Structure 1
Amino acid sequence: MSKPFDMELFLAGVLTGSHATRQRHLRQATLIQAEIAERWQRSTPWAWQRKHVIWFLENRTNQLTKNTQYYYLLTVRLLTRRLGKPWAFNI
């Protein structure tokens, strides 16, 4: 039996800011992970490709306000920084 992926531990090195900001990033990162895992069967960020993240940003945040979309983009940038990928998103 494998342990569930710990998003808080994964992002620990790149999370900064107030407690509320860190909690928002963790909450959003966990949601991003769940959505990608459900759609693409990629359970950890290490298995993600850029297309998976773009799919989430374009299809799962399109009903949200622009401000909320921006906050998700900030969380995606944290995930990208933690993965060490050179991905850029222009959403």
Structure 2
Amino acid sequence: MIKPFDMELFLAGVLSGSHATRQRHLLQAELIQISIAERWQRETPWAWQRKHVAWFLDHRLSQRSEATRYYYLLTVRLLTRRLEKSWVFKL
């Protein structure tokens, strides 16, 4: 039996803010993880490359409002910080 990836534990060191903000980041990070896993079979953020996250921001959020894309970008920045990568994404 394979243990599912715990996004809350993964982001614990970089999450801050109110309870609602932390919950939003966790939910969005899990949705990003699910989308990337479905498309590229990359189950954990450790296996992601920049192109996977860029694909999510460009294609999965293309029909979303600017505000939604901004909030996902904030979550992506947290993921990037946790992965200790120098990836830069813009809206």
Q: TM-score by structure 2 length?
A: 0.99
For residues 25 and 3 of structure 2, the distance between their equivalents in structure 1, rounded to whole angstroms, comes to: 22
Q: Structure 2: which amino acid aligns with 1:72? A: Y
Shift of 1:73: 0.2
Once the 2 structures are TM-superposed, how far is the Cα of residue 21 of structure 1 from its aligned partner? 0.2
Partner of 2:36: 36
Distance in 1, Cα, partners of 2:83 & 2:90:
18
Stretches of structure 1 that go unaligned for 5 or more consecutive residues are: none
| 1:38-62 alpha-carbon deviations (Å, 9 max, x no partner) | 0000000000000000000000011
Query: Does 1:8 pair with 2:2?
Result: no
How many residues align? The count is: 91
Partner of 1:66: 66
CA RMSD of aligned residues (A): 0.4
Query: In structure 1, what residue type is equivalent to 2:17?
Result: G
In the TM superposition, what is the alpha-carbon distance from 1:32 to its structure 2 partner? 0.1
Q: Given the two structures, how large is their TM-score scaled by the length of structure 1?
A: 0.99
- Stretches of 4+ moved more than 2 A in 1? none
Distance 2:71 2:47 in 1: 23
